[in-house]
Amino acid sequence: MQFMSFAEGKKTYAVVAVGVAFGIVQGLDDSGLAHIQVPGAVNWVLLFLGLGAARMGIQTQSAKTTADVVQLVRDVLANIARPDPPEADPDSGLTGATVQTAPVTVRPLPPIRS
């Protein structure tokens, strides 16, 4: 159990480090500098190990008890601020511009001839 307490929070980083190392080895093989073949299944194994480690990390940090959620809702409801009442003069924010109407004539366009 001593290893598990040491590995707490480091599993995802270990999977990423191994993945980067295998990526470097594959890059060296592709460039012709080294002839070390890495099986393609290794990428799939690393993918699912990383997803599993990330899922475990997210699950342990985001798990809340019902009491925690209730207290959070109470805190939010207690801190809701009511907006200030509107000012007595509803026209106080106007710029002084006035809107005037203008007559508009609408005529149908003639048909387009090609």
Cα 39 from Cα 22, distance rounded (Å): 10
104, part of any domain: no
91, part of any domain: no
Q: What is the pTM of this model?
A: 0.41
- Taking residue 53's Cβ as centre, other Cβ atoms within 10 Å add up to 19
Which pLDDT value is given to residue 65? 73
Helix or strand run (H / E) with residue 78: helix 66-78
Domain that holds residue 33: 2-62
35, part of any domain: yes
41, part of any domain: yes
- The total of structural domains in the chain comes to 1
38, part of any domain: yes
Q: At 4, is the pLDDT very low, low, confident or very high (cuts 50, 70, 90)?
A: low
Q: pLDDT for 41-98, tens place per residue?
A: 887 888 888 788 777 777 655 556 777 778 888 888 888 777 777 666 666 666 666 7
CB proximity list for 72: less than 8 A, separation 6 or greater: 64
84, part of any domain: no
CB proximity list for 14: less than 8 A, separation 6 or greater: 7
48, part of any domain: yes
